[in-house]
Structure 1
Amino acid sequence: MKTDSQLQQDVMAELKWEPAVHAAQIGVEVKDGVVTLAGEVSSYYEKLNAERAAQRVGGVKALAVELKVKLGELGKRTDADIALSAKNIIGWTGSLPADAVKVMVEGGWLTLTGDVEWQFQRQDAANSVRHLLGVTGLSNQIAIKPTLSATLVKSDIEAALKRRAAADAQTISVAVSGGDVTLTGTVHNWAERDLATRSAWGSAGVRKVVDNMTLAY
């Protein structure tokens, strides 16, 4: 088990190792395994990479992000410009049905709404626009239309967990209510946790995944 001091040093080292992050502008605090990132970054893209870098470090129990996006002069754009760019890119994304996703921008903050059938479509929409110049934040409010019964969704998720990580599937419980899925149990690292949630989202009709799993190092 790492001490808070060791964990802080590891997170700082991982931030320095990540080329998409200016580590000198980010402060790292750790208390009882909970890591807090604070400071300023020059883009939403950099903020995301800082979060991912911290999550890669073993021993991180939870992550609090207090990073502010402060755009430089070259990165500033009007909301209308950002909205037009986002609309065009989403329109060029082959996995998305025409006009399924709506775009709204306020103060550089991009909000996506609409309805799709699969989680990968919802994620594709967000991934296609999160790196746009001038974006300071992203809210993905795209809904997933439920298309399967609760019994079938539960069966699909449990089968996926067993296929991909048989040992870990025994420690993860799946509860389904409508299109909402709740995962409980124990995983041993962030990779296992990510596998379990991706397996849940991989079933058609899932509109929400609640991660109540705990990390046990």
Structure 2
Amino acid sequence: MKTDTQLRNDVQAELNWAPEVKASNVGVIAKDGVVTLTGHLASHAEKYAVERAAQRVHGVKALAVELTVKLPFDNQRTDADIGLAADRALEWNVLVPEDKIHPMVEKGWLTLTGEVEWEYQRSAAENAVRNLMGVTGVSNLVKVKPKVSAADVEKKIHEALTRQVEREASRLSITVNGSQVTLRGTVHSWTERDAVQGAAWSTPGVSVVVNDLLVNA
């Protein structure tokens, strides 16, 4: 297990390695595996990059994000300008279904609402607007609405697992409750664990995946 000093140094090194992050603007505190990030950043895109970089470091059990976004004067935009840019970004993204997702902006904070059939569409919408100039934060409230029965969801997940990780499929328990899928069982590696979770997320109608799979290397 890493000491607090080792963990802090590893997170700082990862931030220094990330080209989209100005590491000197980020403070890092580590305590018992919990990493606290502090500082003022120039964009929501950089804040997101800082969070992802910290999550990549082995030994980080939890993140406390105390980062704030303070836009440079040249990057400030009116809510109307941000709303128009977000609408265009969603419209031009081929992964986002037309007229299904609606942006709303208040003081630079962008909120997405609507309903889609797939989780990848929900994620694509957030990715499309996250890096827009003037955005200080994003709340993704888009819902994945099931259009298939629970039995159909379970069947499709089993079929996907058989194609992708055949040796694991027979040893897994899949429970479907509405649009939520719970995965239980044992896999041989983190790669296979991610593959099983990816198969679940790729199923139409799934909006929540609870991954309780254990890795038995």
TM-score range, shorter chain: 0.7 to 0.9
Measured in 2, the distance between the counterparts of 1:141 and 1:168 equals 33
The match for 2:128 is 128
Deviations 1:122-154 (A, max 9, x none): 111111111000001111111112022222323
Secondary structure of 1:64 counterpart: strand
Measured in 1, the distance between the counterparts of 2:171 and 2:57 equals 23
The match for 2:37 is 37
Kindly report the root-mean-square deviation, in angstroms, between the aligned alpha carbons of the 2 structures: 2.8
* 1:216 shift after superposition: 9.4
CA 149–82 in structure 1, closer or farther in 2 if over 3 Å, else same: same
Asked whether the 8 Å contact 1:103–1:111 carries over to 2, the reply is: yes
Instruction: After superposing the two structures, state which structure 1 stretch, 172-181 or 45-54, moved more.
Output: 172-181
CA 92–212 in structure 1, closer or farther in 2 if over 3 Å, else same: same
TM-score (norm 2): 0.86
The match for 2:93 is 93
TM-score (norm 1): 0.86
Q: Which amino acid aligns with 1:117?
A: E
Deviations 1:63-122 (A, max 9, x none): 221111111101110000000010111111223332111110001111111111111111
How many residues align? The count is 217
CA 40–182 in structure 1, closer or farther in 2 if over 3 Å, else same: farther
Secondary structure of 2:65 counterpart: strand
CA 164–62 in structure 1, closer or farther in 2 if over 3 Å, else same: farther
Measured in 2, the distance between the counterparts of 1:94 and 1:15 equals 32
CA 62–173 in structure 1, closer or farther in 2 if over 3 Å, else same: farther
Percentage identity across paired residues of the two chains: 53
Asked whether the 8 Å contact 1:174–1:181 carries over to 2, the reply is: yes
Secondary structure of 2:126 counterpart: helix
Secondary structure of 1:67 counterpart: strand
Alignment of 1:56-71 (within 5 A): 56-71=56-71
Measured in 1, the distance between the counterparts of 2:189 and 2:2 equals 14
* 1:157 shift after superposition: 3.2
CA 185–52 in structure 1, closer or farther in 2 if over 3 Å, else same: farther
CA 87–45 in structure 1, closer or farther in 2 if over 3 Å, else same: same
Structure 2, unpaired ranges of 5+: none
CA 116–72 in structure 1, closer or farther in 2 if over 3 Å, else same: same
Q: Which amino acid aligns with 1:37?
A: L
Deviations 1:28-80 (A, max 9, x none): 11222122211111101001111111111112222221111111101110000
Secondary structure of 2:115 counterpart: strand
CA 72–189 in structure 1, closer or farther in 2 if over 3 Å, else same: farther
Asked whether the 8 Å contact 1:112–1:139 carries over to 2, the reply is: yes
CA 101–31 in structure 1, closer or farther in 2 if over 3 Å, else same: same
Deviations 1:183-206 (A, max 9, x none): 456789986665454332111011
* 1:166 shift after superposition: 6.1
The match for 2:139 is 139
> Which protein shows a greater Rg?
2
Measured in 1, the distance between the counterparts of 2:192 and 2:59 equals 14
The match for 1:109 is 109
Measured in 1, the distance between the counterparts of 2:42 and 2:213 equals 33
